[in-house]
Chain A
Amino acid sequence: MNKTEYLKKLTDELGHMPYGDVKDIIQSIEEHFEEGISEGRSEEEIAESLGDPKELAMEFKDGAKFKQIIKKRKMSDNFKGPDGRGRIFVIVFNAFVGIEMWLLFLAAIIAAFMFLAGDCAIIGLIVAGLVAGTLMEYIIPFIFLVLTLICVAVFLIVLLILGIKYYAKGLKSYIRWNKNVWNYGLGED
């Protein structure tokens, strides 16, 4: 497959991406072809080294940058089997730091959730007391207390939404990083 054919196939595969992104991708691949040709490689060789246009397009759709893809390709080309040190690192790091850290974050999220439940229960009790008339003597301070607790509840809800979202995101990236170190090692000699 020559450069024109490769770029055409890639453009077809990138079809649903925004025009600006497709333009940038095509430009970076054209530059890659030009660099390769100046080094004396043929268009076919370069196209082959880039791999299947469909797979390349998938990587771009996943949000990867061209430099990252090339780096990954080089890593897998030079890959000589799993790195034992990387696997030991993953086991030791997770045993003493990783798992504890994620459990601690999870405990913080559960604690925030329990605080929220307690907060709502107290609001309910005070409102019930005010409605029943048992707290009428202290009505103004208790109204302010309810308002304070409502603000605390809003803060805790925001904390929980953001906490759960970024916990999930962070955990996903952490697992991906672990997989990478497990399969390819730490990447340094």
Chain B
Amino acid sequence: MEKKDIKLLITGAVALFLACFMAIITIGLFAIKLGGKAMEYDWKGAFSNVTGQVQSLGD
């Protein structure tokens, strides 16, 4: 294997390592952001609406 190829291989390995590292951070950031959204969401209201619709279907 030539020296140039070894340099390329090291670049690829570093890029793969960075990609994995960044992916973990990205997943974490999305989880925080979406988690915050989920906390703010009006679950009670949404479910009461659905309950009302199901009840009206029954009647």
Contacts and interface: CB of A to CB of B under 8 A. Distances in A.
Interface in A112-138: 138
Interface in A131-189: 138, 140-141, 144-145, 147-148, 151-152, 154-155, 158-159, 161-162, 165
B26 A155 contact: no
A158 B15 contact: yes
Contacts of B11: 154, 158
B26 A159 contact: no
Interface string B14-32: 0110110011011001100
Contacts of A151: 15-16, 18-19, 22
Interface residues of B, dominant DSSP: helix
B8 A148 contact: no
Interface residues of A, dominant DSSP: helix
B5 A144 contact: no
A162 B29 contact: no
A145 B9 CA distance: 23
A150 to B, nearest CB: 8
B5 to A, nearest CB: 6
A149 to B, nearest CB: 8
A63 B15 CA distance: 35
B22 A155 contact: no
Contact of B19 (A138, A148, A161, A162): A148
A152 B22 CA distance: 10
B30 A138 contact: yes
A141 B26 contact: yes
Given A138-B30, A154-B12, A158-B9, 18 more contacts: A141-B26, A141-B29, A141-B30, A144-B22, A145-B26, A148-B23, A151-B15, A151-B18, A151-B19, A152-B15, A152-B19, A154-B11, A154-B15, A155-B16, A158-B8, A158-B11, A158-B12, A162-B8
